[in-house]
Structure 1
Amino acid sequence: MNSLQDALYNWLTIKVVADVRKDDLAAQETAAFFYELLTVDHELKDIVVEKDEEMYRVLYTIGAERKTTKFPTELIDVMLDQMVAEPEKFINYPK
């Protein structure tokens, strides 16, 4: 099983892409897969994402405890930035 940190990173990275590429079936399905991993395997609830210039913050409840995990913006946005810079390399597979 992946660590919670890895699962959050993977989900957030593809979520950022899926939020922009709403008609990209592959991105939507991958984001849903990682969300399910978070909610079923890791038992997270009430997942909220906040972003500022420097950090993404993922707030969630696990058990009875509210927690926050932070990721640098440039680390999470790297895939989306590559897609914008070189769209010919990232074919959109619509629904």
Structure 2
Amino acid sequence: MKSLQDSLYNWLTIKIVCDDRPDDTAAADTEKMFYDILMKEHKVAEIEVEKDDLMYYVQYTKDGERNKSRFPRELIEVMLNQIQNEPDKFVNYPVD
């Protein structure tokens, strides 16, 4: 099992891709998979995301307590930046 921190990182990385590309079905499916891991394996609820110039902040409830993790924007936005810089490599194919 991955750590909660790893699961939050993976979920947040793909979530910002989904937010930028709402029609990207592969990204949406992947985001749902990581969200389910957070809910089912780590028993996390009430996830909220904020960001500033340097960091993303993820607040969540676990075991009845409110917790907060932070991640550098440059790490979280790597995938999104790659997609934006090379869109021809990340074509969103329509669902049949």
TM-score w.r.t. length of structure 1: 0.96
- Deviation sequence 1:7-65 (CA, Å, 0-9, x none): 00000000000111111110000000000000111000110000111000000000121
Distance 1:55 1:87, change over 3 A: same
Question: Percent of aligned pairs with the same residue?
Answer: 56
Amino acid at match of 2:40: V
Residues 19-38 of structure 1: pairs in structure 2 closer than 5 A: 19-38=19-38
Residue 71 of structure 2 aligns to a residue whose secondary structure is strand
Greater RCO, 1 or 2 (C-alpha within 8 Å, sep 6+): 1
Q: Number of aligned pairs? A: 95
Residues 3-82 of structure 1: pairs in structure 2 closer than 5 A: 3-82=3-82
Distance 1:94 1:12, change over 3 A: farther
Distance in structure 1 (CA, Å) of the matches to 2:60 and 2:86: 34
Q: Which residue of 2 aligns with 1:2?
A: 2
Q: Which consecutive residues of structure 1, in runs of 5 or more, have no partner in the other structure?
A: none
Amino acid at match of 1:2: K
TM-score w.r.t. length of structure 2: 0.95
